[in-house]
């Protein structure tokens, strides 16, 4: 059964016992109250939370400014510093509390109290200032999952510099595009990273990226994570520890406007190059803060572990900012789930007493394959909540997570949201009755609706396009440097206020949402977002490729895999040479974008299936990629014989 079919036929309901319910901070009554308040006074609901949860150096008087809708501003005349909110305000009563427990790939462990984190962030903030970084400057962070990545992000926030973290798995080409688009002045990186028992170089990609078109980058700060040698360019590259030597442990956080951009994070869309999603300071932090409290119930005794890399939005809201803002203890892990064996995640949970664990369905599916005996070898008794994010979770994986990892006791918090939404949007509170495969109901203050193709709101038990009707504090503020693209992409319904998500969803009779997947040309491979057009552009930039079309096909671990249909401008080689070409093209995509974008399947034909007006018939390609029989009407095809060519592997 496909994922969508299994989701749409699911009808089990799971409720936690009253005894466990009592342990959660937000009761059903409190939740009902919050929903009622938000429905009655949307802006007042968020404004009260912003006053209660965040520390403002200058209080705001305006909740929402919608005078330039859909360019919304929240808490506009207020000022705050995000790093102050994440660190300094805890120093009075939590200075010795552990903020970060770090476990390296090889099992090396480091702990940082809030005071130690404060000192490190201050030293690095002073370092950035000494290196000429000022408020509003863009700084690229291209680092592995080590505490220094969070320290760098927090230090940028402290001085009002705008960071853009680029996932360490992206190639030099992808890195360059982001450096150029952001107009970054500095890159912070490491000599390499440690993953799965190996060391992987990183800095060389920065060197390659900076070879052309990045003249505005004046400095590169390099943290030495591995023992490997690293080439340093005189005058440009600086060693982190040397630069930091003698810097003060004190730094006065720079107060910024609530709307000051905290960061840019590049993400794929259906057209063009990845866009720089611009997030604000006050509004972003508010939703990152409250969702860590609401969905994960983080309290003083919790140890929270979100497995996401800081290169993705999840690693921003649920590693670098949210858990610190609520004053929690969190785990950061450098390695991979299967090294030294597939029990690694459960070992980390056991050793650090993890109480709340948050990961992606793709990881659950991959670990499920190793059976239930492996997790049983570890003590997972402390776990009390389990989260998932990034893609629809199929009921089978949900049940395994619930029964084997959560031992039937831990609610599964399936969180639907996006890079652009900043934080959770549709997700259960721990007390919410659960249905496997459903992210349940919108959060209080999040006005999710379902639209038909024409943009009319559907009421009741229906499926269609997911949209958000009213602005919320952590929403995307702009596509960096391109207001028109922001409006066209997210608010395409002329004259209507809907933020259109790009996902289709179904709402059942209980008002529960079931996300069915993207409706645009965006793929979701292992929970990572990739634009088909990006991969197509990478393929056609290869000398032997004339044309390419990319579609997704279902994959039992990755959710979706990349399938590429390629037209060559040379004769199609046979046998081993053909296999070698397939490999060459896969490596090419990896080099242009990163290993996550490598096609699983590459097929060749003399043309792409197009209509007589030249439009590529992607639905046919999707059917071929899935290995389905073609039942669609092919009469509009310019050349029907093409299909036979592509059907041959
Ligand atoms: O299609 C939805 C899917 O991931 C997309 C957003 O991807 P990205 O911006 O990379 O953010 C991922 C982490 C928040 C969405 O449009 N998605 C995310 N979470 C879920 C999901 N699909 C179903 N269920 C989820 N819980």
Atom of ligand 1 nearest to the CA of 393: 24
Per-residue confidence (pLDDT) for residue 638, from 0 to 100: 79
CA of 521 to the centre of ligand 1 (A): 14
Name the residue of 391, 436, 466, 512 whose CB sits within 8 Å of the most ligand 1 atoms, as the mutation to test its pocket.
Answer: 391
State the chain's maximal CA–CA distance in angstroms.
Answer: 74
> Is 570 part of a structural domain of the chain?
yes
CA of 268 to the centre of ligand 1 (A): 12
Pairing of strands 256-257, 263-267: unpaired
- Return the closest-CA partner of residue 295 out of 146, 193, 414: 414
Strand order in the sheet with 499-507: 457-458, 448-451, 463-468, 499-507, 513-518
CA–CA dist 471, 486 (Å, integer) = 14
φ, ψ at 313 (rounded to 5°): -60, -35
88 DSSP 8-state letter = G
316 HSE (CA, 13 A, CB side): 34
pLDDT at residue 466 above 90?
yes
Atom of ligand 1 nearest to the CA of 529: 10
Residue 541 domain boundaries: 526-647
- Return the closest-CA partner of residue 634 out of 609, 613, 606: 609
391 is in an annotated binding site: yes
Atom of ligand 1 nearest to the CA of 415: 26
Atom of ligand 1 nearest to the CA of 420: 9
CA of 391 to the centre of ligand 1 (A): 5
CA of 291 to the centre of ligand 1 (A): 16
350 is in an annotated binding site: no
pLDDT at residue 2 above 70?
no
Ligand 1 pocket residue status of 391, Cβ below 6 Å: yes
Mean per-residue pLDDT, 488-494: 94
Ligand 1 pocket residue status of 529, Cβ below 6 Å: yes
- Residue recorded with tokens 């591995």: 226
> Is 443 part of a structural domain of the chain?
no
Mean per-residue pLDDT, 362-370: 95
Q: What is the pTM of this model?
A: 0.96
pLDDT at residue 4 above 80?
no
Q: What is the ipTM of this complex?
A: 0.99
Per-residue confidence (pLDDT) for residue 268, from 0 to 100: 92
415 is in an annotated binding site: yes
> Is 299 part of a structural domain of the chain?
no
Ligand 1 pocket residue status of 518, Cβ below 6 Å: yes
Residue nearest to atom 12 of ligand 1 (CA): 390
CA of 600 to the centre of ligand 1 (A): 22
Per-residue confidence (pLDDT) for residue 387, from 0 to 100: 98
With residue 605 as reference, give the H or E element that holds it: strand 601-605
365 is in an annotated binding site: no
CA of 309 to the centre of ligand 1 (A): 15
Strand spans (E) along 72-215: 73-74, 79-80, 98-103, 109-113, 138-142, 162-165, 186-190, 192-195, 198-201
Per-residue confidence (pLDDT) for residue 633, from 0 to 100: 78
Per-residue confidence (pLDDT) for residue 612, from 0 to 100: 85
Per-residue confidence (pLDDT) for residue 611, from 0 to 100: 85
Name the 3-class secondary structure at 68. coil
DSSP 607-628: S--BBTTS-B-HHHHHHHHHT-
Specify whether the CB–CB gap between 153 and 163 falls below 8 A: yes
Residue nearest to atom 13 of ligand 1 (CA): 390
CA–CA dist 478, 335 (Å, integer) = 34
Pairing of strands 329-333, 303-306: parallel
Using only C-alpha atoms, what is the Rg of the chain?
Answer: 24
CA of 359 to the centre of ligand 1 (A): 12
CA of 518 to the centre of ligand 1 (A): 9
Residue nearest to atom 23 of ligand 1 (CA): 392
pLDDT at residue 1 above 60?
no
Per-residue confidence (pLDDT) for residue 164, from 0 to 100: 98
- Return the closest-CA partner of residue 262 out of 243, 240, 238, 288: 288
Residues in Cβ contact with 633 at an 8 Å cutoff, skipping those fewer than 6 apart: none
Most confident segment among 17-21, 165-169, 633-637 = 165-169
Name the residue of 529, 596, 597 whose CB sits within 8 Å of the most ligand 1 atoms, as the mutation to test its pocket.
Answer: 529
Ligand 1 pocket residue status of 414, Cβ below 6 Å: yes
pLDDT at residue 55 above 60?
yes
CA–CA dist 201, 385 (Å, integer) = 36
Q: What is the mean pLDDT of the chain?
A: 95
pLDDT more than 90, % of the chain: 90
> Is 585 part of a structural domain of the chain?
yes
Question: Could you tell me if residue 526 is left (phi over 0), alpha (psi between -120 and 50 degrees) or otherwise beta?
Answer: left
Angle at the Cα of 104 from the Cα atoms of 98 and 106, rounded to 5 degrees = 140
Specify whether the CB–CB gap between 480 and 276 falls below 8 A: yes
Per-residue confidence (pLDDT) for residue 3, from 0 to 100: 67
Residue nearest to atom 5 of ligand 1 (CA): 418
> Is 521 part of a structural domain of the chain?
no
CA–CA dist 62, 53 (Å, integer) = 17
> Is 207 part of a structural domain of the chain?
no
Residue nearest to atom 3 of ligand 1 (CA): 391
When mean pLDDT is compared across 61-75, 270-284, 438-452, the lowest value belongs to: 270-284
Mean per-residue pLDDT, 169-192: 97
Ligand 1 pocket residue status of 439, Cβ below 6 Å: yes
Per-residue confidence (pLDDT) for residue 462, from 0 to 100: 78
419 is in an annotated binding site: yes
542 is in an annotated binding site: yes
Per-residue confidence (pLDDT) for residue 625, from 0 to 100: 94
CB atoms within 10 A of CB 517: 20
Length of the chain: 649
CATH number at residue 555: 3.30.300.30
Ligand 1 pocket residue status of 523, Cβ below 6 Å: no
236 DSSP 8-state letter = T
Residues paired with residue 463 on neighbouring β-strands, in sequence order: 506
Residue nearest to atom 11 of ligand 1 (CA): 418
Specify whether the CB–CB gap between 201 and 178 falls below 8 A: no
- Return the closest-CA partner of residue 269 out of 577, 488, 455, 49: 488
| pLDDT tens figures, 217-230 | 999 999 999 999 99
| pLDDT tens figures, 522-575 | 999 998 999 999 999 999 999 999 999 999 999 999 999 999 999 999 999 999
CA of 560 to the centre of ligand 1 (A): 13
With residue 115 as reference, give the H or E element that holds it: helix 114-130
Residues in Cβ contact with 421 at an 8 Å cutoff, skipping those fewer than 6 apart: 468, 472, 474, 475, 476
Name the residue of 417, 479, 500 whose CB sits within 8 Å of the most ligand 1 atoms, as the mutation to test its pocket.
Answer: 417
641 is in an annotated binding site: no
Ligand 1 pocket residue status of 416, Cβ below 6 Å: yes
Specify whether the CB–CB gap between 225 and 189 falls below 8 A: no
> Is 601 part of a structural domain of the chain?
yes
- Return the closest-CA partner of residue 472 out of 518, 512, 507, 422: 422
Per-residue confidence (pLDDT) for residue 461, from 0 to 100: 79
Q: How is residue 119 written in tokens?
A: 């000192």
pLDDT at residue 649 above 70?
no
> Is 544 part of a structural domain of the chain?
yes
414 is in an annotated binding site: yes
Domain count along the chain: 1
Specify whether the CB–CB gap between 503 and 491 falls below 8 A: no
Specify whether the CB–CB gap between 551 and 532 falls below 8 A: yes
Name the residue of 268, 390, 512, 514 whose CB sits within 8 Å of the most ligand 1 atoms, as the mutation to test its pocket.
Answer: 390
Ligand 1 pocket residue status of 417, Cβ below 6 Å: yes
Residue nearest to atom 18 of ligand 1 (CA): 390
Specify whether the CB–CB gap between 161 and 138 falls below 8 A: yes
CA–CA dist 647, 2 (Å, integer) = 21
Residues in Cβ contact with 220 at an 8 Å cutoff, skipping those fewer than 6 apart: 186, 187, 188, 189, 203, 206, 210, 233, 236, 237, 238
CA–CA dist 542, 599 (Å, integer) = 14
CA–CA dist 320, 147 (Å, integer) = 9
């Amino acid at each position: 059964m496909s994922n969508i079919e299994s989701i749409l036929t699911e009808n089990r309901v799971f409720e936690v016992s009253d005894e466990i319910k009592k342990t959660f901070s937000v009761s059903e009554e409190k939740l009902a109250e919050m929903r009622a308040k938000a429905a009655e006074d949307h802006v007042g609901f968020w404004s009260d939370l912003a006053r209660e949860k965040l520390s403002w150096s200058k209080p705001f008087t305006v909740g929402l400014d919608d005078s330039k809708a859909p360019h919304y501003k929240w808490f506009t005349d207020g000022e705050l510093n995000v790093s102050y909110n994440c660190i300094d305000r805890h120093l009075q009563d939590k200075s010795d509390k552990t903020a970060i427990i770090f476990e390296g790939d090889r099992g090396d462990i480091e702990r940082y109290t809030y005071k130690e984190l404060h000192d490190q962030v201050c030293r690095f903030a002073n370092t950035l200032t000494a290196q000429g970084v000022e408020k509003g400057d863009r700084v690229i962070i291209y680092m592995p999952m080590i505490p220094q990545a969070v320290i760098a992000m927090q230090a940028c926030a402290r001085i009002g510099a705008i960071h853009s973290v680029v996932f360490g798995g992206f190639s030099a080409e992808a890195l360059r595009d982001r450096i150029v688009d952001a107009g970054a002045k500095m890159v912070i990186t490491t000599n390499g990273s440690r993953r799965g028992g190996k060391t992987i170089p990183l800095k060389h990609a920065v060197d390659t990226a900076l070879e052309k078109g990045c003249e505005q980058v004046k400095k590169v700060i390099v943290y030495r994570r591995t023992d490997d040698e690293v080439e340093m360019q005189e005058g440009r590259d600086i060693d982190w520890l040397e630069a930091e030597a003698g810097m003060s442990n004190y730094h006065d956080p720079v107060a910024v406007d609530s709307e000051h951009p905290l960061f840019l994070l590049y993400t794929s869309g259906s057209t063009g190059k990845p866009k720089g999603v611009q997030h604000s300071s006050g509004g972003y932090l508010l939703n990152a803060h409250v969702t860590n409290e609401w969905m994960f119930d983080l309290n003083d005794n919790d140890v929270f572990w979100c497995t996401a890399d800081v290169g993705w939005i999840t690693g921003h809201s649920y590693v670098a900012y949210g858990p610190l803002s609520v004053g929690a203890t969190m785990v950061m892990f450098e390695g991979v789930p299967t090294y030294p064996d597939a029990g690694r995640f459960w070992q980390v949970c056991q050793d650090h007493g993890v109480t709340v664990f948050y990961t992606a369905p793709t990881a659950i599916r991959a670990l499920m394959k190793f059976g239930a005996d492996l997790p049983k070898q570890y003590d997972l008794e402390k776990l009390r909540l389990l989260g998932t994010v990034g893609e629809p979770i199929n009921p089978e994986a949900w049940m395994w997570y619930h029964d084997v990892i959560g031992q039937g006791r831990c609610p599964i918090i399936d969180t639907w949201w996006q890079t652009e939404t900043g934080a959770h949007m549709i997700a259960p509170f721990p007390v919410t009755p659960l249905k496997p495969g459903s992210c349940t109901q919108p959060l209080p203050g999040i006005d999710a609706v379902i639209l038909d193709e024409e943009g009319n709101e559907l009421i009741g038990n229906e499926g269609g396009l997911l949209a958000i009707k009213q602005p919320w504090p952590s929403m995307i503020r702009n596509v960096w440097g391109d207001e028109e693209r922001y409006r066209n992409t997210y608010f395409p319904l002329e004259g209507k206020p809907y933020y259109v998500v790009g996902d289709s969803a179904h709402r059942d009779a209980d008002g529960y949402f079931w996300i069915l997947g993207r409706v645009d040309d965006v793929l979701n491979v292992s929970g990572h977002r990739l634009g088909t057009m990006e991969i197509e552009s990478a393929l056609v930039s290869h000398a032997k490729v004339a044309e390419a079309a990319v579609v997704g096909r279902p994959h039992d671990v990755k959710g979706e895999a990349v399938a590429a249909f390629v037209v060559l401008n040379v004769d199609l080689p046979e046998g081993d040479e053909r296999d070698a070409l397939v490999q060459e093209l896969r490596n090419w995509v990896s080099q242009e974008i990163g290993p996550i974008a490598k096609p699983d399947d590459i097929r060749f034909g003399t043309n792409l299936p197009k209509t007589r007006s030249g439009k590529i018939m992607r639905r046919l390609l999707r059917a071929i990629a899935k290995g389905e029989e073609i039942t669609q009407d092919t009469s509009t095809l310019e050349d029907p014989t093409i299909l036979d060519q592509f059907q041959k592997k």
